[in-house]
Amino acid sequence: MTRVRRKKKVEVVEESTDEIGALEKLVSMKEDFASFYWDYLDQALLESEYKENVIRIADTIQAFCAENADLMLAYFQLNREDEYELIHPLYTAVICEILGVKKKIAYEDRNQVICAALTHDIGMHTLIDVLKYQESPLTPDQLADLKLHPIRSVKLLRDAGVTEKVWMMSVQQHHERLDGSGYPYGLLLEDISLGARMIAIADTYIAMTKPHAHRQGSFAKAALSELFANRGDKVDNELTQIFIREMGLFPPGAVVRLMNGDIAMVTHRGKNATTPIVQSIVGPRGAPLPKPIPRNTQHEAFAIRDMEQDEEYRQIAFSSAIDLWTQKKIHFSSS
């Protein structure tokens, strides 16, 4: 009797195949957004077309977030190669969608909040252009001008044919704070719309973690704890708690040092706030690894010691992440 050789059951987990297509789609969405954003600001685009384009990108962001929110978070957190003015609205939009889904807001309203996130600072473009090259702090005139940008954004949107209430209110109130310390109107509590509260959290977090000309950005962890300290006071209590729970202490795109000395990047959120999924990119002696190594942060040796802020590590992390997302990596797990 010939013995039938039982074939070992091999389970093929095409873990990152989805991410290959997802990165391509994400980059083309970003380029799509960039081209009409600049065209609009250069007045090379019809205002009505601007509105249609924003809605199209909002739909795309909602679809992508449903498929692969971690990739979007990591990509926008790590990317400092594209202009901040471009990454900022997209990253804000992604965070708003994550918050909106958890808050069980209807699709249509989330779509309007995303449109608001994508357009909230358009009234600040001229000032951003000046500040890019300005070494000194804002002059009193510039500060006064800055505080008018939500109103200016709303006016531009109205000219572009936007009438949607949630969208407009979210833009107009995105710098209002619960205790009345915000601008332009110093509104209080319930007078601030839900969409504006969502953008306020995303906007503050992204601005805090961004390195500035004269200082490094804070660590994601520090930004999260500052938001937590301000919850209920300046920013919405429940939304802040959802935000921190959803991001984890080490959100995708964070660069961290592990207990064994490795430098690693967070690619996905984990089961709990302190144990995200990471890939080591630099060894304990400071040498970049030939290719990223997945590490289990639940394991004592690979637990996260702290965050790392070095720009050089950020660059290694971003290019390693791009490599990971573009390579077809098939994992075999036999059983």
Q: Note the residues at the interface with Fe ion (CB under 5 A).
A: 121, 203
Residue 89: CB minimum distance to Fe ion, A: 7
Cα 293 from Cα 138, distance rounded (Å): 45
Residue 95: CB minimum distance to Fe ion, A: 11
Considering the complex, state which of residue 157 and residue 264 has its C-beta at the smaller distance from Fe ion. Answer: 157
Considering the complex, state which of residue 209 and residue 275 has its C-beta at the smaller distance from Fe ion. Answer: 209
Residue 143: CB minimum distance to Fe ion, A: 13
Considering the complex, state which of residue 19 and residue 203 has its C-beta at the smaller distance from Fe ion. Answer: 203
Considering the complex, state which of residue 203 and residue 262 has its C-beta at the smaller distance from Fe ion. Answer: 203
Count CB neighbours of 217 within 10 A. Answer: 16
How large is the angle between the packed helices 47-78 and 17-41, nearest 10 degrees? 130
Phi first, then psi: give them for residue 289, nearest 5 degrees. -80, 145
Residue 93: CB minimum distance to Fe ion, A: 11
- Listed in sequence order, the DSSP H helices in the chain are 17-41, 47-78, 84-102, 107-119, 125-131, 140-146, 149-159, 165-172, 194-209, 220-229, 237-247, 311-326
Considering the complex, state which of residue 182 and residue 276 has its C-beta at the smaller distance from Fe ion. Answer: 182
Cα 102 from Cα 81, distance rounded (Å): 30
Considering the complex, state which of residue 95 and residue 105 has its C-beta at the smaller distance from Fe ion. Answer: 95
Considering the complex, state which of residue 97 and residue 203 has its C-beta at the smaller distance from Fe ion. Answer: 203
Residue 43: CB minimum distance to Fe ion, A: 21
b/e burial code for range 171-190 (CB count within 10 A of at least 16 → b): bbbbbbbbeeebbbeebeee
Residue 124: CB minimum distance to Fe ion, A: 6
Token pair 């962890």 in the structure block, residue: 221
Please state whether beta strands 263-268 and 277-282 pair in parallel, antiparallel, or not at all (unpaired).
antiparallel
Helix (H, G, I), strand (E, B) or coil at 1: coil
Residues 6+ apart with CB under 8 A from 183: 147, 150, 175, 176
Residue 90: CB minimum distance to Fe ion, A: 11
Helix (H, G, I), strand (E, B) or coil at 22: helix
b/e burial code for range 140-151 (CB count within 10 A of at least 16 → b): eeeeebbeebbe
Token pair 């954004």 in the structure block, residue: 153
Residue 308: CB minimum distance to Fe ion, A: 26
Considering the complex, state which of residue 208 and residue 307 has its C-beta at the smaller distance from Fe ion. Answer: 208
